[in-house]
Amino acid sequence: MNRRSAGAASWIAFRALVGRDLAVLRQTIKQFLPRVILQPLLLMFVFTYVFPKIGQGIGGANHQFSTLLMAGVVATAMFFQGVQGVALPLVQEFGFTREIEDRIMAPAPLWVVAAAKVASGALQTMFAGLLVFPIGLFVPADTIHLHINWLILLTLAPLVAICAASFGMFFGTRFEARQLPVLFGIIVVPITFLGCTYYPWRALRPIRWLQVAVLINPLMYFAEGFRAALTRSPHISLLVIYPALVAFTTVLAWTGFRQFRNRVMS
């Protein structure tokens, strides 16, 4: 077989590793779809269909809440898929079978192998976010009024996807299988509940301490970003959102890659 330069071999391996993950996704799409769709579907159903129907409106004018919630649900769905789609397979591959030892034999530096995992996770995350839109179209009792800013949406969505997948890389290389309940019970659940998905960050003003505390929650920036991309509701300045997302991504991915290396090399 022809030997390739390090760069060429790495790039080929990167694409093939992503290809492998997407092939697995294709084969397991029947499990993937319900897992990804169910949570946003239930959220939208309860908050934008059941509540208005039984007269328990939240957030004043109903359609405005539905629209607001839509952005939050896209953000949550992507966060969940990023963490699950990367962390769960990684925990499994790092598990007692050490399946990861096969993946790291691909001719590339270890960080490229890890980056391929983030890339395929990000693609799945984008897909998961996209699936929320038809739900928003059909489920709410009243119409959702999206005002899409395409420039923001098309730059923000990939950034959010990579950030969420980097979260998965960070957790997947830090936790072991037996610690997964801790990851989801103690870390992921608070992040999702306190991620400003049901209300804009500015609305937290009366609870000042919470408003400050959620600044360290990456999901808050996802949700505020999608509010900027999809609605006319108030949101944090984009000059804060973009740098915050880049910073989260950099720190999580860098730490994740280091942990990845430390797990496979001794």
Partner 1 sequence: MTEPTALTEPAPLAIRTSKLTKHYGDLVAVDHLDLDVRRGEIFGLLGPNGAGKSTTAGLLTYRVIPTSGTAEVEGIDAFKSPALLKQLIGVVPQSNTLDRSLSVYDNLYHHGRFFGLSAKQARAATDEQLARFRLTERAKAPVFALSGGLAQRLMVARAVLHSPAVLFLDEPTSGLDPQSRLALWDVLRELHAAGQTILLTTHYMEEADALCDRVAIMDHGRLLALDTPAALKATYGTGTLITVSATGDLAALAIELGYLDGVDEATTVAEGVRVKLSRRDGMVAAIVSTAERMGVDVRDVAIAQSTLETVFIHLTGRDLRE
Min separation Cβ 165 and partner 1, Å? 18
> Who contacts 29 (Cβ-Cβ below 8 Å, separation ≥6)?
none
Helix axes 238-264, 110-130, angle to 10 degrees: 130
> Of the candidates 27, 143, 179, 250, which one interacts with partner 1 according to CB under 8 A?
27
Name the minimum Å distance from CB 3 to partner 1.
5
What span, in angstroms and rounded, lies between the C-alpha atoms of 129 and 230? Answer: 13
Q: Among 29, 31, 57, 102, which residue interacts with partner 1 (rule: CB under 8 A)?
A: 102
Q: Looking at beta carbons only, is 59 or 109 nearer to partner 1?
A: 109
Binding of partner 1 by 33 (CB under 8 A): no
> Which is nearer to partner 1, 23 or 247 (by Cβ)?
23
Q: Phi and psi of 255, rounded to 5°?
A: -65, -40
Amino acid at 112: V
Q: Per rule CB under 8 A, is residue 109 in the interface with partner 1?
A: yes
Q: Pick between residue 219 and residue 264 the one whose CB is nearest to partner 1.
A: 264
Q: Closer CB to partner 1, residue 217 or residue 259?
A: 259
H helices, E strands: number in the chain:
13, 0
* SS3 labels along 159-215: HHHHHHHHHHHHHHHHCCHHHHHHHHHHHHHHHHHCCCCCCCHHHHCCCHHHHHHHH
Q: How far is the CB of 41 from partner 1 (least distance, A)?
A: 26
* Between 15 and 202, CB nearer to partner 1: 15
| Strand, coil or helix: 56 | coil
Q: Is residue 104 within the footprint of partner 1 (CB under 8 A)?
A: yes
Q: Which of 74, 90, 106, 252 binds partner 1 (CB under 8 A)?
A: 106
86 lines the binding site for partner 1 (CB under 8 A) = no
DSSP state of 216: G
Regarding 99 and contact with partner 1 (CB under 8 A), the answer is yes
Among 29, 33, 38, 105, binds partner 1 (CB under 8 A): 105
For position 54 contacting partner 1 by CB under 8 A, the verdict is: no
Report the alpha-carbon distance of residue 154 to residue 182 in Å, rounded. Answer: 34
- Separation of alpha carbons 192 and 76, rounded Å: 6
Q: Where does this chain bind partner 1 (CB under 8 A)?
A: 1-4, 6-10, 12-13, 16-17, 19-20, 23-24, 27-28, 89, 92, 96-102, 104-110, 112, 264-266
